[in-house]
Structure formats: C-alpha cells, structure tokens
C-alpha cells in the first residue's frame, strides 16, 4: 500500500501544481499560457502612420522590418522592467469608458518602447507613466482599434498573452570583432529574455551581459567562427538553444534567423 499511496500523493500534487500554473498564466507543458486580467490606462503617441513609434527603447529598429508593425506599445517603467519587458505581448480591451467602441473590442500589442516618467506632472494628470502606475502608450493605430482617439486616455483591462510568432528568433548583429552586440527579435511564447550566452565554433559558452532593451553583449573575439546562442526566458525561466545561427563570415548590420523559438 505504501508505493500506491506515494504515487497517488505525487499525482495529486502534480495536478494541483498544474492547475495553479495554468490559472496564473505561467509556463505549462511547454507552452506559455495567458495571465490574469488586470486594470490600467492607455494613451497613444504618434499619428496613424505610427512613424514616431519606429526605433524605441527596445532597439527593434524599423518595426515593419522587424515584424511588429503598428500593433505596439510603450510601457510605463513598472511594466518595462529595465528592458526585460521588451517583446512581451498584451491583450488590451477598452473598459468602462463612453469612448469605447461598441462591444469593447480588444487588440494584442507587443512591447517595443518605454514610456518615460514625467515628474513635472501629477501621476493622475499627465504623468501617466510615473511609477508605480501601470500604463500603455499605444501606437495610434492600435489605440484606434479600441476607442475614439479623441478621448486621449481610456481605462483598459489587460493581460499577458503568448506571443504568436512565425518562424524562429531573429538575431541582429552589431559591434565589431571584439565586441558582439545582439538584438533579439521575433521571440515567441512569453516574448521576453532574461539572459543569453554565445558559443563560437572554437569556444565554450560565453555569458552575455544585458546592454539595454532587448540587446545582449559579449566582449570576446568571435569573428571567423560560426555562432550559436543559449537563451533563457525572463518570465518562465525556460532555456532553449539556437544552434549555428551565424556562419563563420558573419558581419555587423545583418540579421540572422534561427529555427528555435519559445512557444
């Protein structure tokens, strides 16, 4: 009876853990699950072309070229988390406002920028992104899917959702032969990155430090070697490997694609 009782206890414990993680929106069975709904406010910046949203604190550059388009948002400091919030995906819906479109539609956006604090204005009157507020400054086309843009600011409900990406992660190379700077884009699953390491074809794994936004750096001479990467998610802690991403003749300014991605 002892072994049967132990097995039952283990299975019961596993079932409880599974339910808890599924409810909280964590990493379950190889997939990132949606998180709980929370409340915040949203504004917008730029115009209908979203030209002012290009670039941004995450370092994704031209958001059309990097695959994010106009479905993007700048996060307040609390959500941005010193750049570790870059790449995260949020479902946002207009909530309890006369400016909401009929049916309270929702949209999904990717975090690509920082909405900086404005300490010269009150947090409830213009300083919308001041800590500890949670706030989304949306690209105008994204805002216009939720409400009349003339509202300026609206209350919203939001939740983290899995980032649905086509293909593998993309690695944009910068730096030089002695300093490698990598911007990581098109990250699926939780969408974010906690840490990275690089391996040359003639080296062991070399830890990379967080530079800013979605970029990581290694101060090593790696030119002339094919490069692989080890990537760990900030939210889930899952680690995956992207092997032989860049050939031996890799160059700065080029984006290399892998087949590896989070789910």
pLDDT tens string for the chain (263 positions)?
A: 333 333 333 343 333 333 334 334 566 656 899 999 999 999 999 888 788 788 789 999 888 888 899 999 999 999 999 999 999 999 999 998 999 999 999 999 999 999 999 999 999 888 999 999 999 999 999 999 999 999 999 999 999 999 999 999 999 999 988 899 999 999 999 999 999 999 999 999 999 999 999 999 999 999 999 999 999 999 999 999 999 999 999 999 999 999 999 99
By CB atoms closer than 10 A (0-12, 13-18, 19+), residue 98 is exposed
Report strand pairing: 106-115 vs 72-76: parallel
Give dist(CA 132, CA 99) in Å, integer: 25
Give dist(CA 167, CA 260) in Å, integer: 8
pLDDT value for 199:
98
């Amino acid at each position: 009876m002892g072994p049967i009782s132990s097995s039952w206890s283990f299975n019961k414990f596993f079932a409880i853990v599974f339910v808890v993680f599924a409810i909280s929106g964590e990493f379950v069975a190889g997939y990132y699950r949606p998180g709980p709904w929370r409340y915040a406010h949203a504004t917008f910046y730029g115009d209908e072309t979203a030209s002012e949203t290009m670039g941004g604190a995450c370092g994704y550059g031209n958001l059309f070229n990097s695959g994010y388009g106009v479905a993007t948002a700048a996060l307040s400091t609390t959500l941005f988390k010193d750049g570790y919030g870059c790449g995260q995906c949020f479902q946002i819906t207009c909530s309890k406002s006369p400016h909401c479109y009929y049916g309270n539609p929702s949209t999904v956006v990717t975090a690509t920028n920082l909405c900086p604090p404005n300490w010269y204005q009150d947090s409830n009157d213009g300083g919308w992104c001041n800590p500890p507020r949670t706030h989304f400054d949306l690209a105008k086309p994204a805002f216009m899917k939720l409400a009349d843009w003339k509202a300026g600011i609206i209350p919203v409900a939001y939740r983290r959702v899995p980032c649905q990406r086509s293909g593998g992660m993309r690695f944009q190379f910068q730096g030089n032969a002695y300093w490698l700077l990598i911007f990581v884009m098109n990250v699926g699953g939780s969408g974010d990155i906690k840490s990275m390491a690089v391996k040359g074809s003639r080296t062991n794994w070399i830890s990379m430090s967080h530079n800013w936004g979605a970029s990581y750096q290694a101060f090593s001479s790696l030119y002339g070697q094919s490069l692989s990467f080890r990537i760990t998610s900030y939210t889930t802690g899952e680690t995956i490997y992207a092997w032989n991403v860049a050939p031996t003749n890799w160059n700065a300014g080029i984006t290399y694609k892998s087949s590896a991605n989070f789910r």
